[in-house]
């Protein structure tokens, strides 16, 4: 659920074929809104927020990418040499492979 600057809830309206969801405000409440000039200027006094259905997942990935603890873990793993078992050939390789 999304909220406009005046505190009005933007209700779910529809999902398009490309996966974008639309959330819209009530135009009757927006007509008398003090934030109308700052929020959105439209002829029908309606604020519409469009967001993709995967946007929540993408936000989570962005937050993990910017997390300092995860970044330091990645940096420390880059400086360590890989274990010998990770770079050796598997013992179950076919004979034609050797």
pLDDT score for 57: 92
Contact indicator for 47, 25 with CB cutoff of 8 Å: yes
Please return the burial class of 25, using the count of CB atoms within 10 Å of its CB with bins 0-12, 13-18 and 19+.
Answer: buried
Tens digit of each residue's pLDDT, the chain (98 residues) = 788 888 888 889 999 999 999 998 888 888 888 877 777 667 777 888 899 999 989 988 888 877 778 777 877 777 766 666 555 565 665 665 55
């Amino acid at each position: 659920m999304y909220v406009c600057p005046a505190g009005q809830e933007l209700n779910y309206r529809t999902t398009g074929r490309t996966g974008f969801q639309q959330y819209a405000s009530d135009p009757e409440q927006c007509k008398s809104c003090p934030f109308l000039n700052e929020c959105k200027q439209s002829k029908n006094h309606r604020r519409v927020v469009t967001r993709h259905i995967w946007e929540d997942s993408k936000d989570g990935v962005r937050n993990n990418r910017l997390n300092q603890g995860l970044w330091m873990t990645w940096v420390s793993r880059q400086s360590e040499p890989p274990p010998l078992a990770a770079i050796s050939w598997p013992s179950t390789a076919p004979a034609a492979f050797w």
